[in-house]
A and B are shown apart, each in its own frame.
Chain A
Amino acid sequence: MGILEVQNVNKRFGGLQALNNVNFSVEEGSVHALIGPNGAGKSTFLNCLIGKLKPDTGSVMFDGQAVLGKKPHEINQLGVSRVFQTPEIFSDLTVFENVMIPCFAHRDGSFKVNAFAKVMKDKEIRQKAEDILEDMGMKDKIKRHSGSLSRGDKRRLEMAMCLVQEPKLLLLDEPTAGMARADTNNTIDLLKHIGETRKITKVIIEHDMHVVFSLATTISVLAQGAIIAEGLPQEIKGHPKVREAYLGEAEV
Chain B
Amino acid sequence: MTLMRDRTLLIIFALFVLAAPLIFAPTGAAYPDLLQRFAIYGIFAIGFNILFGLTGYLSFGHAAFLGIGSYSAVWMFKLLTMNIVPALLLSVLLAGLFSLLIGYVSLRRSGIYFSILTLALAQMSYNLAYSVLTPLTNGETGLQLRLDDPRILDAAGAVGTLPSTNLFGLEMKAVFWNPTIFGYDLQFNWGYYVTAAMLILSFWISIRIFRSPFGMMLRAVKTNQTRLNYTGINSRPYTLAAFVISGMFAGLAGGLLASMDPLAGAERMQWTVGGEVVLMVVLGGMGTLIGPILGAVFIKYFENIFSKINDTVLQGWFSFMPGWLDDFFVTIVSPFVGRGWGLTLGALFMIVVIFLPGGLVYGAKRIGSLLTGAKRREAKVEAM
Show the binding face of A for B, using Cβ within 8 Å.
Answer: 50, 71-73, 76-77, 81-82, 88-93, 97, 100-102, 104-106, 108-122, 161, 165
Contact = CB atoms under 8 A, between A and B. Distances in A.
B232 A105 contact: yes
A81 B230 CA distance: 7
12 contacts: A90-B228, A97-B216, A100-B213, A102-B232, A105-B233, A111-B238, A113-B241, A116-B208, A117-B212, A118-B208, A120-B211, A165-B231
Contacts of B213: 100, 104, 108, 112, 114, 117, 119, 122
Given A93-B220, A120-B2, A71 B234 contact: yes
Nearest to A72: B229
Given A92-B222, A116-B208, A101 B216 contact: yes
Contacts of A122: 213
Given A88-B226, A102-B232, A114 B220 contact: no
B232 A118 contact: no
B217 interface: yes
A14 to B, nearest CB: 25
B329 interface: no
Contacts of A81: 230
A72 B233 CA distance: 9
Contacts of A93: 216, 219-220, 223
Interface string B200-228: 00000000110111111101101110111
A101 B211 contact: no
Given A89-B227, A90-B220, A90-B227, A73 B233 contact: yes
A104 B214 CA distance: 10
Given A90-B223, A115-B214, A71 B229 contact: yes
A89 B232 contact: no
Given A100-B216, A101-B216, A111 B231 contact: no
Interface of B: 2-3, 208-209, 211-217, 219-220, 222-224, 226-235, 237-238, 241, 245
A116 B238 CA distance: 14
Contacts of B226: 88
Contacts of B238: 111
B3 A121 contact: yes
A73 B220 CA distance: 14
B212 A118 contact: yes
Contacts of B227: 88-90, 161
A72 B232 CA distance: 7
Given A113-B214, A118-B3, A119-B213, A76 B223 contact: no
A76 B173 CA distance: 57
A118 B245 CA distance: 18
Given A73-B234, A114-B214, A121-B3, A92 B229 contact: no
A108 B234 CA distance: 12
A31 to B, nearest CB: 21
Given A92-B223, A120-B2, A115 B230 contact: no
B216 A111 contact: no
A105 B217 CA distance: 10
Nearest to A158: B227
Contacts of B228: 90, 101
A18 to B, nearest CB: 21
A165 B232 CA distance: 10
Contacts of A116: 208-209, 212
A86 to B, nearest CB: 11
Nearest to B2: A120
User: Which 3 pairs of residues, A with B, have the shortest CB-CB distance?
Assistant: A76-B232, A92-B223, A105-B232
A92 B211 CA distance: 16
Contacts of A76: 229-232
Contacts of B220: 90, 93, 101
Contacts of A88: 224, 226-227, 230
B233 A101 contact: yes
Contacts of B233: 73, 101, 105, 110-111
A32 B20 CA distance: 67
Contacts of A111: 233-234, 237-238
